[in-house]
Structure 1
C-alpha cells in the first residue's frame, strides 16, 4: 500500500517533504523534482561552495522523496532474489547492499538499497522518479508469491554526508557510531526524537556519512524531525549546512556513482553498466541462478559479449552533458556517448560518465561533440575522486 504526504501537498500539485518548512526558511531555491518540491540550492552558498563544503565538513541532504519499502514473510527472500540478482544468504543481518530491480530482459528498472533485518524481513529504498513504475512492477511480480507482505511508507529521510559526519551525529546519541561501518545499519535513539530511528552508514557522495529514516507519520513526529534538522544547522553552523540537488549530483558524479535515467535504464543491463559485481558468484553458477533476465546477463558475463562499458572522461572547456556523442581521437569514428557530465569543483575541470567502446583504453584521447564542435577529452578510470567510506 502506498502512503503519501497528503498533509504536505502544495497548491502546485507537488508534494512537500516533512522538512519543506526548514528549506524555505533557510532560503532554499525550491524546484520540481520527481513530483516533489525540493531545494536545488540555498541562498547562502553557490553550487561550488556547497560541493566543497561536503568534501570538508558536513552536508545535510533531504532525501525524503525516496520511497521506502518493508518486505517480509516466508517467501520474501525468494521474491527479492527473483527481481534482483542479490544473494541474501551472503548478507548478514543489519547490513545493506546496492542492487537493481530487473525486468524480464535483464534491463534495470531501478537501482535500490536492500537491508536485511531478519531472515524474512527486509527494508528497501528506491528512487523517487521511479516510484509509480517500481510499485507497479513489484505488485505485478508479487502475483507469483503468496507469502510476502509488501508495503511502502514515507517519512523523513535525511542523509548526513562529509568527513565530520560521525563527530556531529555522535553528539545526539549514546550509540557508539565508530562501531558501525559502511553498509551496516541499526535502530538507534536520537535526541530529541522520541521514536526509534533507522540509521544506515552510507556514502552516495563518496564521503563518509549516514542516512536516517525518521518516523514522520503524525504532526508530533514531523515537528521532532524538523527540530532535529534545525538544531544541526543552527547550533553547528561551522560544521553542518543544508545542501541541495545541484551539489548532490556533482558529488555523486565525482564518486563514480550511477544515477537512474542517466547511467541506468531499462534497456541497459548491470553488465553493460559496469556493475557486474552486483551479481555474486553464487548467482552465476550452482542452483541459485534464476532471476529476471538471468540468461542474458549471465551470457554477457561468461562470453564478454557487451560492446561498450561505463567509464569516465575528463576535459576542459564547456562541460559535457547527457547525450553528447564521443568520437575517436581523429574525430572520424563515433565510439560512445555521455550519460552525465559536470564541472568538477574538486578537480577544477570537467568530469563525465559515458558508455564507450570497450576496446578504448584508459588514458586514450577522444573527442566529445559539444555545441556542434569536437572538443578534446581523455578516458579516465572511475571514480574521479577517491571514496572515503568508513570501513574496518
Structure 2
C-alpha cells in the first residue's frame, strides 16, 4: 500500500496561488504555478522567487557539554572541517558511509551554542537516526517540526527580504543570523544570491504573503527549482550523488577542507576515508561532468552515454536551461573521457546524438561574497 502523502503547512496557500501539486519526497508539493516553469525560472534569475522547502529536515544539535565536543563528533561523520566554522557561519557537508559513498548532502551552521543542520527531505529520517546513533553521547539531536523553511532567491531577494528583516542586508554568502523568531542564512540552491528563512509555522503564511505582495517576488515550484540548480551545476541527492558515489567522483572536493585531507591537522577519521583520500591523491576512476547536447532536444536522466561503441555511463540530470537557452545535462564518465570539449554521444529513443563535455556551472553564480 502506498504511503499517504504529507502536506506542507503552507499547502492551502499553494493551492490558493494556483499551484499544480505533485508527490515529491513523500510530500504534496507545487511543481509550478500559473506563470509556468519557464517564466518562474527566468523571474528568479531577474528578480526574486519564493520557494517553500519546508519538506526538508531541520535539526538542532544542542551540546550536553562543550560545543567543541559536539563539533568534533559531528565532524567524525563527514570529510568536512566542522571545528573551523566560526559562529554566525554555515558550511556545506556530506555524510559518508564506510565505502566512501554519500549518505546525504546537507548544510550546517555554527549558531554559537549549538549546531543547526538542514538535510534533504527523502533522507531526513535516516539522517536523524544516523546523528542520534553517533552523537547522542555529546549532544541532544532535536528535530525541528514546528517551523516552515522558505527560500527567497534572485538578485532582488535582499531588497525584498530587507523590508521585513532589515538586518539581512549586512549578511554575506553563508552567513547565518537569528532575528527574533526568524532564522536566516544567506544561501540557496539556485546559483543566485538569496536566503533560506526558517520561521514558526504559525507565522509562515503571513510572512510568505507579505513577500508575495512585493512586485519583485513570484512563487516558484519544483520545476524551476530543478532547472535553476541544474544550470548552477548543483547535485540533486538520489540522482547525481548517492551511496555509491564518492565526493571526489562527484566533483565535490571543494567541500573537503585542507584540515581533513592527507597531511591536514585532522586528516581522515571519517567514514570511507581510505577511498576518499586515495581518490584525492590519485584521481577517481570516473567523474561527474557537465554536458551540452547538440540541437534543441534535451537529454534526460538515464540517457546512456557512449564513445563510439564503448558504453561510458549515463546522464544523471538533464533538461532545458531557460537562461542559457539550450539543453544541458550532467552525468558520469570515465576520467579519460572527462576533459572539457570531449565529444561523446547520448542515446535518445534508440538514436545516437552528439553531446560535448562542458564546464560547469552553465550559468554564472551571483553569490554576495
Structure 2 vs 1, CA of residues 376 and 199 (structure 1 numbering), >3 Å: closer, same or farther? same
Aligned partners of 1:365 and 1:146: how far apart in 2? 52
In the other structure, the counterpart of 1:106 is 100
Q: Is 1:384 paired with 2:362? A: yes
Aligned partners of 2:350 and 2:325: how far apart in 1? 24
In the other structure, the counterpart of 2:159 is 167
* Structure 1 unaligned regions, length at least 5: 1-11, 190-195, 217-221
The normalised TM-score by structure 2 is 0.94
In the other structure, the counterpart of 2:207 is 228
Displacement of 1:125 in angstroms is 0.2
In the other structure, the counterpart of 1:130 is 123
Once the two structures are superposed, the pairs formed by residues 79-158 of structure 1 within 5 Å of their partners are 79-118=73-112, 121-142=114-135, 146-154=137-145, 155-158=147-150
Partner residue of 2:10 out of 2, 7, 19: 19
Is the contact between residue 62 and residue 142 of structure 2 (CA under 8 Å) also seen in structure 1? no
Q: Is 1:324 paired with 2:303? A: yes
Displacement of 1:173 in angstroms is 2.3
Aligned partners of 1:335 and 1:35: how far apart in 2? 33
In the other structure, the counterpart of 1:364 is 342
* Structure 2 unaligned regions, length at least 5: none
Partner residue of 2:234 out of 257, 263, 274: 257
Q: Is 1:197 paired with 2:176? A: no
Residues 234-264 of structure 1, C-alpha deviation per residue, up to 9 Å, x if partnerless? x32x311100000000000000001001111
Displacement of 1:286 in angstroms is 4.1
Query: How many residues are matched?
Result: 358
What is the SS of the residue equivalent to 1:90? coil
Q: Is 1:215 paired with 2:215? A: no
Aligned partners of 1:376 and 1:300: how far apart in 2? 30
Aligned partners of 1:241 and 1:91: how far apart in 2? 34
What is the SS of the residue equivalent to 1:22? helix
Displacement of 1:178 in angstroms is 3.0
Displacement of 1:370 in angstroms is 1.2
Aligned partners of 2:188 and 2:124: how far apart in 1? 22
In the other structure, the counterpart of 2:275 is 296
Q: Is 1:178 paired with 2:169? A: yes
Aligned partners of 2:340 and 2:74: how far apart in 1? 36
Q: Is 1:279 paired with 2:256? A: yes
Is the contact between residue 99 and residue 113 of structure 1 (CA under 8 Å) also seen in structure 2? yes
Structure 1 outlier segments of 4+, above 4 Å: none
Residues 244-302 of structure 1, C-alpha deviation per residue, up to 9 Å, x if partnerless? 00000000000000100111100111011111121111111245221111121111111
Partner residue of 1:311 out of 267, 284, 289: 289
Residues 11-70 of structure 1, C-alpha deviation per residue, up to 9 Å, x if partnerless? x83222221111010000111111111100112x12111111111011000000000010
Partner residue of 2:48 out of 30, 54, 58: 58
Partner residue of 1:72 out of 62, 70, 91: 62
Displacement of 1:141 in angstroms is 2.4
